Structure 1
């Protein structure tokens, strides 16, 4: 039996065993039971899309797109503002559902809804911006470049921050004049999909422009291969991102990849250690470490590494583990048993290789206590791999050059941070770090949905989403020239 109440904005009766095509319809892929990680009880049940569902959705989205593109910008913007108003009106309900479905705290759920509201208003604002450039040209000819939509954009989103990581592509893609087919992770289909469908449904988005199809790899592959889809925006693991890029490349789609990270926070010897420990703990343990920007390595100068480790141990012991969505604990569960087992394996292998588990470790069910590993060195799994669990890894270094080398000793390149009151020195170190996001005197999870967000290397393919990058991602340039009469050429 599901745990969703039938009152309120999110009523299970709307989506039970369904997918969304502008209305709620039966899928061909069967039923998708959704479990609440903190309680291991069924939270709700949605439909599961198969490849044929995806084909139908892509065709319908393509048919709807041209009329949407022709709609005036003020009329489009009004829909986004209405959707934002709906999110404001039902804020508490939405935040609690996001927290429960993702295993996060109510603080995390509230953050996602707040960011969603900003994303919707930002999408409305895109429509009041200039959509092109007038270019220099010869006398008697008007030459300009305008931004035109791709057509249909496919969005594949993950489980960890599903509302934000879906909507950050869905909203600007729609604002740019595209239709969208969204495949949220089937572990979080409501937060990552149906919640967004409900907001736009209530706001009056024309039928067919947004299709929401929870599904497994079969549905994702079908979306990447469908010829109606001209762009794929994918957020997820690096391994899955490679498969997405390969499949999408067969039809020469544009692909925006936001992938994993092994992010370093460098703490210099002159740092305030209390502040540094607070930053490191937040970056390593927020949402159980299930964030691509999580602080995967805490690089501490050898003279302060022991003291910083002690402060982190104290913080770990002060944090409670349990049902964070109900306000019963600071740290909630990991998303599933496979991820829990993976965290255990990485920590155990690193300890066997010489690291020391200062505090933490497995707890009952899907819970894993906030942990501190000291003495982590290159070659250890905790140094090399993205853990995606609440494990703070302390790595000592002797000088600035070694700190830079350790931070760059990874195939990833998402986020990095440096903490020191010596701003010139910290910024000089930052200039040498291979990353898409850089923070001086902050931790690696510092993020706002209005900034251009993207990584390099195994963290992404160099693109960025968010803020000023959205026009570049979700449109393409078209060059146009206009003359009074055709010229006469020599032929």
Structure 2
């Protein structure tokens, strides 16, 4: 049985059943061809208010469900992601403009996120505390209640399921708002998977929509935690609104991530790592390698090798052939990418490769001859652009990297001893030695600091339990305590 083809989900939102939303419908457009793939339903703020109330009711019973039953739902969801992998991959390719390999990573990761989350219901959720008082003193973790998950377009499935799965496993209800451009990959597929996995109605609800829906989610009194992945400007607004409503917001935001190529590093391997880090999924990843710092002894060779790779990587429709890069998600994003590139060249930067596009297909681009003040170096581009700067000393490399307000992912290539020394001197949520900047695993903590977000709020039992539960202090005596009043 097909997950989507044989099911009447089109034009609908999901609140335990599929029905039309107050926001009407929106076309799902394939960026590579401009074709309409389907119509999806959109919610409005009234739908959000209704969903939040019903989710709060459904959550109580779900939280009371025994751990083994909650774990079983998560395991079934993981198996269903594996069973329907081909269908899932096809949607991620066509809706998000992903090459097949990247779409395959998303499908496999979705299953792994569910399997990893299935261990959370039986994970220890508290501890007995020492006390000087004659009672038992217990710290225990309780479900937060209703969790709002707001996810972006670039890795739509993974960046939704990595919050949805652990939040559900820990006894919460979830209101999911995917990016409207990738509503199927980031929302409909997940709702259908958990519907088939036997999740009780109302525990997971799908509410696609625009900024008004996102604002309504944050403001809904039943929502206690907001898990947001997206741009830094949007994240600031989410954080501000959540703070006004005294709610926790877990913010995973942008990243202008650096790769440092140390003296003596294998230049060919380094250029391969740099190409992958900058151009995977057209550079539309928060972990993309956005800055290449190369020791001056290797700089010219590195730029030449990177430019050569750029000139040979095929760009095109990922659904029609074997390509290395697909389309940019839409014309607005493409115009932003090209604007940064062209302004940087006008500022004195050198275009070593790329810098052109046909429609939404932007060529992999290499920029050299830069200074740290130039826009392509200082801004997160979110496109297939590799800016390269030389450095002479390790102190200089640390200084250049640390000037950025972003602190999500850092790559250091070369001698491990030197790399470890640098790793201790640079603040970053993730550091990868002799690997590029793009990496994620279901059991590993993920998150950044500064303009990259509010720290590790995803991945692994410790981070997920911290993110999606509240701590409660419980004391117990065998008899009522005596008091002097």
TM over 0.5: yes
| Equivalent position of 1:416 in the other structure | 410
**Aligned residue number for residue 163 of structure 2:** 169
Q: Secondary structure at the match of 2:333?
A: helix
Distance 1:59 1:308, change over 3 A: same
Gaps of at least 5 residues in structure 1 are 1-6
Q: Which residue of structure 1 aligns with residue 318 of structure 2?
A: 324
Q: Aligned-pair distance for 1:15? A: 1.7
SS of the counterpart of 2:179? Answer: coil
Q: 1:246 aligns with which of 240, 250, 253?
A: 240
After alignment, is 315-324 or 256-265 more displaced? 315-324
Give the match for residue 356 of structure 2: 362
**Is the counterpart of residue 431 in structure 1 residue 424 in structure 2?**
yes
| Alpha-carbon shift at residue 446 of structure 1 (Å) | 2.3
Structure 2 residue corresponding to 1:450, chosen from 443, 447, 451: 443
Picking from 30, 35, 38, the partner of 1:41 is 35
| Matches of 2:238 and 2:205, distance apart in 1 | 19
Q: State the secondary structure of the residue aligned to 1:479.
A: strand
Residues 7-32 of structure 1: per-residue CA shift (max 9 Å, x gap)? 82122752211001121011000111
2:195 corresponding residue in structure 1: 201
Q: Secondary structure at the match of 1:15?
A: coil
The answer to whether structure 1 residue 79 and structure 2 residue 48 are counterparts is no
Using the alignment, how far apart are the partners of 2:57 and 2:384 within structure 1? 45
Deviations along 1:273-331, one digit per CA (max 9) or x if unpaired, are 01100110000000000000000000001111110001001111110010123333111
Number of residues of Structure 1 aligned to a counterpart in Structure 2: 484
Question: Which of 477, 480, 489 is the equivalent residue of 2:483?
Answer: 489
Work out whether residues 106 and 327 of structure 1, in 8 Å CA contact, stay in contact via their aligned partners in 2.
Answer: no
> What is the TM-score when the length of structure 1 is the normalising length?
0.97
- Give the aligned partner of residue 232 of structure 1: 226
> Of the candidates 296, 305, 310, which is equivalent to residue 311 of structure 1?
305
SS at match of 2:227: strand
Assess if the C-alpha contact under 8 Å between 2:116 and 2:442 holds in 1: no
Q: How far off is 1:463 after superposition?
A: 4.0
- Whether 2:60 is the aligned partner of 1:66: answer yes
1:440 aligns to what? 433
Residues 14-29 of structure 1 mapped to structure 2, 5 A cutoff:
14-29=8-23
Question: Mapping of 1:106-255 within 5 angstroms?
Answer: 106-138=100-132, 140-255=134-249
Root-mean-square deviation over aligned CA pairs: 1.1
Deviation at 1:449, TM superposition (A): 2.4
CA contact (8 A) 1:105 1:326 kept: no
- 1:328 and 1:427 map into 2 onto residues whose CA distance is 38
Aligned-partner SS, 1:418:
strand
Contact 2:75 2:115 in 1 (8 A): yes
Match of residue 3 from structure 1: none
| Residues 361, 370 of structure 1: 8 Å contact kept | yes
Hey, what's the Cα distance between the residues in 1 that align with 2:465 and 2:144?
11
Q: Is the 8 A contact 2:55 2:174 kept in 1?
A: yes
| Corresponding residue number in structure 1 for 2:452 | 459
Selected match of 1:90 from 84, 104, 108: 84
Q: Distance between the aligned counterparts of 1:165 and 1:366, measured in 2? A: 23
* CA–CA separation in structure 2 for the residues paired with 1:218 and 1:260: 22
Deviations 1:116-167 (A, max 9, x none): 0000001111122111111123475221111101100000000000100000
CA distance in 1, matches of 2:133, 2:296: 68
| Other structure's SS at 2:165 match | helix
CA contact (8 A) 2:371 2:389 kept: yes
Q: Following the alignment from structure 2 to structure 1, what is the Cα–Cα distance between the partners of residues 306 and 480?
A: 73
- Which of 184-193 and 9-18 deviates more? 9-18
SS of residue matched to 1:69:
helix
* CA displacement at 1:490 relative to structure 2: 2.2
3-state SS of 1:127 partner = helix
Q: In structure 2, how many angstroms separate the alpha carbons of the residues matched to 1:388 and 1:78?
A: 38
TM-score (norm 2): 0.98
Q: Residue deviations 1:201-239, cap 9 Å, x none?
A: 000100000011111000001101111100000000000
Greater shift, 126-135 or 290-299, is seen at 126-135
Name the SS for the 1:162 alignment partner: coil
Tell me by how many angstroms 1:464 deviates: 2.2
Q: Secondary structure at the match of 2:406?
A: coil
1:55 to 23, 36, 49: 49
Tell me the distance in 1 between the aligned counterparts of 2:7 and 2:41: 12
